[in-house]
């Protein structure tokens, strides 16, 4: 499994950056993962360039209007996606205004972290933690207990 997590906008809180990196470090036990910060001025255009830079990535948007899954369902979603075709997954967190129609059209789906609204920096940490939790579930690791 290969993942790229991208977010639009700078990380201003050092604690958010540290927690995000901690969970990405843990994810690396199970899968290849990288992260990328997209300049807010580029927005969706920067995201779409990233998507096209290496063809064949699957774009999944993290969006409040997306499908809500619990942690085991998220793990199953990932397992099914990679079993289907093995393509790298680009998980994207939008900027302050969310995603525009071009990004939505390019995406193969959208997931919601919660019905509640969180800061974009906290969403990064939550996504990284849920990715680690899902992979730990799939590999029988005790973390998800």
CA dist 44 and 38 (Å) reads 9
4: closest CA among 39, 36, 40, 44? 36
Q: pLDDT digits over 59-86, tens only?
A: 999 998 999 999 999 999 999 999 998 8
Fold of 2-138: Alpha/beta knot (3.40.1280)
For the chain, give every domain's residue range: 2-138
Q: Which positions ≥6 away from 67 have C-beta within 8 Å?
A: 109, 110, 111, 112
**Inter-residue contact 48 to 18 (CB < 8 Å):** no
State yes or no: pLDDT of 143 exceeds 90: no
State yes or no: pLDDT of 144 exceeds 80: no
Q: How many residues does the chain have?
A: 145
**Inter-residue contact 103 to 47 (CB < 8 Å):** yes
Mean pLDDT value across residues 86-109: 93
State yes or no: pLDDT of 46 exceeds 90: yes
131: closest CA among 43, 29, 8, 47? 29
What's the pLDDT at 56? 79
């Amino acid at each position: 499994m290969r993942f790229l997590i991208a977010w639009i906008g700078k990380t201003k809180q050092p604690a958010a950056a540290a927690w995000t990196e901690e969970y990405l470090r843990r994810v690396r036990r199970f899968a290849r993962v990288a992260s990328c910060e997209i300049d807010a001025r580029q927005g969706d255009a920067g995201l779409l360039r990233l998507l096209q830079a290496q063809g064949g990535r699957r774009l999944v948007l993290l969006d409040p209007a997306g499908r809500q899954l619990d942690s085991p369902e998220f793990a199953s979603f990932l397992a099914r996606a990679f079993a289907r075709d093995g393509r790298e997954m680009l998980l994207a967190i939008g900027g302050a205004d969310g995603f525009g129609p071009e990004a939505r059209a390019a995406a193969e789906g959208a997931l919601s972290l919660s019905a509640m609204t969180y800061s974009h920096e906290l969403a990064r940490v939550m996504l990284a933690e849920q990715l680690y939790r899902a992979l730990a579930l799939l590999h029988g690791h005790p973390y998800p207990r």
